[in-house]
Chains A and B, each alone.
Chain A
């Protein structure tokens, strides 16, 4: 596989895109009355780097056969992806304004049949690495250079199906497949590792036959960019897993490193506090 083109983008611009993700997550949650702040914020830098720098996608041709595929095991964080897809032009930004309203194309979980730019529907945790294995096999059969990227959560690592998929991806030597684990430490019931420990993840993924790239700070834009770019360009007959250690709720101080803001809502006064912190923040 030839090494792939990377879009030139200033770090300041990536920072602004990550701010956009956080700001819009807050705004859309305000429309909806309930939202997954914690996991949308933890993945902001990962998604910004993927969509503005690394992924080969074309908003004018959302069904372009050779596009890279992005699937979300952690579909509940779609609220942080929709603003990016709108910003890139996959669909009109007005769609965001009716987020979650009756008949909207955009809801808490991504739906491929409703939203241009969504490569697969999700919501049931643990499915999408399997789907991505199928996509990667299909890309190989079709002699496509497309890469398939699946973003998972750390709680998702509890799902047995993830390891079925991991085993099969290594068995079929899918080096066009990248798994990312957004290890933000939070789950519905509390601290993910206390609910059901999944660590040590690096040795598990290694044992399952994957290349492992560990990002100690999944909000460090340089490290994220370098790590994900390497993951997308490792033609060694093994899939690659990027373990991104992140902070749940990153960017809003009272949400950071809490499980309580996995899901929540901000009243008007707190909304302004959150916006102010996001705008003042300089993450990555």
Chain B
């Protein structure tokens, strides 16, 4: 077990204040209780949530509703603010259902709403949605093949020191084994917008696996977020990284780092986990060593999906799965965890360089 052994604080606990007056001024503070007479490092939920700028679900759904999608209803389980759909509820109170802390009820009711011709969008933390609710998702939404869209946020280890109960590294393994379910991973706010815009009319269930909203920006304009698609973001001749979620940005950083060391890296955003873009995997295997990269358990996760295609098609070649080990994560601030698990740009670059030099 990775958590056994004697305790060693690493790094030694620093002061964790990160808020500044400048940062606060970038946030809508209308509902905040933190006024000017507070210390500039102090913050309340309103300040903090305002920084989740990549969670574009609510603003996108508001746009879609304004464009005439009057069939959209939003469901959440006491997480409308943290997942950034609360503004939809303010604008369309009749089409916004907050179930309180009752996720399984929410999932079933979303299925019921879908049978009535509505388009339910569930917005919730992924560990309560995908892990607690997996049986309800399977029986009520997927087996019945109803057009419910699920947006699971704060996936992977994004919750950092909130701990294992709030980490969600097993969702890909669980969800990609459920027939009828499309599983996709938008890696930033533009990607979430693209994902919803492209697929809101898809007549079957989709689960969008998202981060906590503070992801680095990858895309500058919306694109066709195609079921079974992928985006090749960089080209290089030595190896390929097939990445999802936060690891797309890490792979882009690794591309830049390795370019300086004479290694050419192709970077593909494999946002469609299931169905997966098999051609992109064939192309990668033909190019050279393949690396899958995800913020999830590599056992049963995205890397396993890549391995299945390589094995099924006899593509041969070497696959290295970058991701979370088959264990529960240690605690720490998210950025520290990404460094610890070698899921940042430096970590991905080192893993690739070491593997290639073997």
**Which A residues are within 8 Å of any B CB, using their own CB?**
65, 69, 112-113, 119-121, 123-124, 127-139, 141-142, 144, 161, 164-165, 167-168, 172
Contacts and interface: CB of A to CB of B under 8 A. Distances in A.
A73 to B, nearest CB: 11
B95 interface: yes
A164 B116 contact: no
Contact of B144 (A120, A132, A164): A120
22 contacts: A113-B145, A121-B139, A121-B143, A121-B144, A124-B135, A124-B139, A127-B104, A127-B139, A128-B108, A131-B109, A133-B109, A134-B114, A135-B113, A138-B113, A138-B115, A138-B118, A141-B73, A141-B118, A161-B108, A164-B99, A168-B99, A168-B109
Contacts of A130: 104-109, 112, 140
Nearest to B116: A138
Contacts of A139: 116
Interface of B: 73, 94-95, 97, 99-100, 102, 104-118, 120, 135-136, 139-140, 143-145
Nearest to A171: B100
A127 B140 contact: yes
A134 B106 CA distance: 8
A164 B112 contact: no
Contact of A133 (B94, B112, B117, B118): B112
B112 A137 contact: yes
A171 to B, nearest CB: 8
Given A130-B104, A131-B111, 9 more contacts: A113-B144, A113-B145, A124-B139, A134-B109, A135-B116, A136-B112, A137-B109, A138-B116, A168-B105
B105 A133 contact: yes
Most buried by B among A128, A136, A165: A165
Nearest to B71: A141
Nearest to A146: B116
The 3 closest A-B pairs by CB, nearest first: A134-B112, A138-B116, A130-B108
A178 to B, nearest CB: 14
Contacts of B73: 137, 141
B113 A134 contact: yes
Contacts of A132: 112
B115 A135 contact: yes
Contacts of B113: 134-135, 137-138
A168 B104 CA distance: 12
Contact of A141 (B95, B102, B136): B95
A113 B112 CA distance: 14
Nearest to B114: A134
A134 B110 contact: yes
A134 B100 CA distance: 15
Nearest to B136: A127
Contacts of A131: 108-109, 111-112, 115, 140
Contacts of A113: 144-145
B306 to A, nearest CB: 32
B135 A165 contact: no
B105 A161 contact: yes
Nearest to A166: B105
A128 B112 CA distance: 9
A128 B114 CA distance: 14
Nearest to A69: B115
